[in-house]
Structure 1
Amino acid sequence: MKSISIILLSLMILSCNKREDRIQIIEDENLNQKQIDSIIDEYNFEYSRVVFIDSMEKVILPISTQNARDKSRYSAKSYYADSYPNYWNLIFFDIKSGKTKLLTQKKTRILDFTTNFKNVGPILKKSVLYKAGDTDYNLDKKLTYVDPNQLFISDIDGNNFSRLSPINENLIEYEIVPNTDKIIFRTLRDSNGNKEFDEKDEKIWYLIDLSTKSKAVEILNQEKRKEIENLYFKQWLVKNNKG
């Protein structure tokens, strides 16, 4: 029984090593087209849903990919779960002209996207907002869920794809100020510089006005936050004999 367990353990280790090596070869080695085709054959390209925009004249097709051998891709325990993004690109299709366009040529993890906004300004009316990341922030030569997501925007043709929130901060949430082109969003800043985003880091609120083409500004800058913290210290942490 002991020898069987050792054999099974060895096979599991070898299997993991083979899968890891395969990913490494795909990322780092120069392959000819025949080799590339043989690897791509193991993957299923999924155009998971259709999103109509601009009075149904334009369509977004999100692209995700699944390794055909990895049936547990959507399981949290999957070997590949951390590597696969929700979507790795989007196709924009113009029904009138028949033209298609990829959102970006850069490797990007797209967590989610939103369009067809109601009660917004003229810019956001013709825009798509994304929660996405394209930066290997912790420098591990991978693009995974531990790297930060930021707020991105493009027009409804998929052009002018650009980042709105700081590259070294992880987007938590955003809200559009009603009937405007202003967005309030919150991020987690890597304030201790350890290349991770956790409860020890600062949560920062920003406001960006797309109509002015200016960068996002902190609603509470460092000076104001320090003022609030000192007020709390005086009111709640310092002994007050008056009660």
Structure 2
Amino acid sequence: MRNIVILGFTLIILTSCGNDEKPKVIYPENEEIQTTELKKDSTLIEIADIPIHIDSTKYLIHPIGEYRMYGSRGKVFFGSSSYSSGSFSITNYNRYEITGNLHNLKFQQLDSENLTSLTTKNIRIKSITFLRDLFDNTKKQILIYRVLDKDTNRDNELDDNDVETLYISNIDGSEFEKLTSEFQELIDWKEIGIKNRIYFRSIEDTNKNGEFDKDDKIHYQYVDFNSDKRIVTEYKPI
């Protein structure tokens, strides 16, 4: 009986240790956090998906991601790092949104064979959305991105344990820029077509404990596309 109690107590300790969550942000003392260059993984191969054409635009979008080899000794299986083993697909496209776990995009004008990269930075792109209502209203062709752009927890990986941010670009990938402030975690965003705006919320780790919780500050912001300048404006609904 005594051994069972000791074993149970040990399991509780090990379980509690294993569930300790690391902070999303580890702040440097005197320097800005830089994206950690990931070491090459021999099980990962760069792969491009079949290009995607968003109707009414003059560009193909080529998603670029990773491919992983599984298995050993004669049996090798393949699968993207975004989806399950055995699938060659690295993206999903539905209603003007591309989702996946992408390293980059390449853009190709319909009357050209040239491809242009979105970025040379080491990032992970979680989703790309075409602002369809904005296009219908103004003919402006804009893409919005959910991006992991820094190894904020300093574990030498870019993944969902890092801070998610919001980016924007033109339909050809030009003017790719960040909308959220440094170290602010994106909560959500939405296109409001009747105003030709996107609204988004982000949370700031005001107490600098590395976590985003009820003690931190939520920022409410929008970008108004009625203007040619992409200015992030903060507003206070509460």
Aligning the two structures, in what range does the TM-score lie when normalised by the shorter sequence?
A: 0.5 to 0.7
Contact 2:38 2:157 in 1 (8 A): no
Greater helix share, structure number: 1
Q: 1:60 to 1:214 in 2, by over 3 A?
A: closer
CA gap 1:200/1:46 in 2 versus in 1, 3 angstroms: farther
Q: Deviations over 1:27-60 (max 9, x none)?
A: 46xxxxxxx8xx66x4343333532136353111
Of 114, 118, 128, the residue aligned with 1:113 is 128
Show the counterpart of 2:4. Answer: none
C-alpha root-mean-square deviation of aligned residues, in Å?
A: 2.9
Q: Percentage identity across aligned positions?
A: 29
In structure 2, C-alpha distance between the alignment counterparts of 1:205 and 1:113, rounded to whole Å:
21
> Retained in 1: the 8 A contact 2:134–2:196?
no
**Does residue 203 of structure 2 align to residue 203 of structure 1?**
no
SS at 1:65's partner residue? Answer: strand
Between the aligned partners of 1:166 and 1:116, the Cα distance in structure 2 is 22
| Alignment of 1:149 onto 2:164 | yes
Please name the residue that 2:67 is paired with: 66
Whether contact under 8 Å (2:126, 2:147) holds in the other structure is: yes
The letter for the 1-side match of 2:235 is I
- Residue 188 of structure 1 deviates from its aligned partner by 2.2
1:86 match: secondary structure: strand
* Residues 97-134 of structure 1: CA deviation (Å, up to 9, x unaligned): 221111100011111011151255537x3111101121
Q: Given residue 130 of structure 1, which amino acid in structure 2 is its aligned partner?
A: Y
Superposition deviation, residue 186 in structure 1: 1.0
Q: Distance in 1 between matches of 2:141 and 2:186?
A: 22
**Contact residue 186 and residue 203 of structure 1 kept, 8 A:** yes
Q: Judging changes above 3 Å, is the alpha-carbon distance between structure 1 residues 171 and 47 closer, same or farther for their aligned structure 2 residues?
A: same
Q: Does the 8 A contact of 1:132 with 1:150 survive in 2?
A: yes
User: Residues of 1 paired with 2:158 and 2:68: CA distance?
Assistant: 17
Gaps of 5+ in 2: 1-36, 72-77, 85-99
Question: Structure 1 length as normaliser, TM-score?
Answer: 0.62
C-alpha spacing 1:200/1:177, structure 2 compared with 1 (3 Å): same
Tell me, yes or no, if structure 1 residue 217 matches structure 2 residue 233: yes
Unaligned runs of 5+ in 1: 1-25, 29-35, 76-84, 226-243
Q: Determine which of 119, 122, 126 is the counterpart of 2:138.
A: 122
Match of 2:175 among 160, 164, 168: 160
Gap change, CA 1:198 and 1:144, over 3 Å in 2: farther
Checking the alignment, whether the CA contact within 8 Å between 1:61 and 1:91 is kept in structure 2 is: yes
Q: Distance in 1 between matches of 2:162 and 2:211?
A: 8
Alignment of 1:80-99 (within 5 A): 86-99=101-114
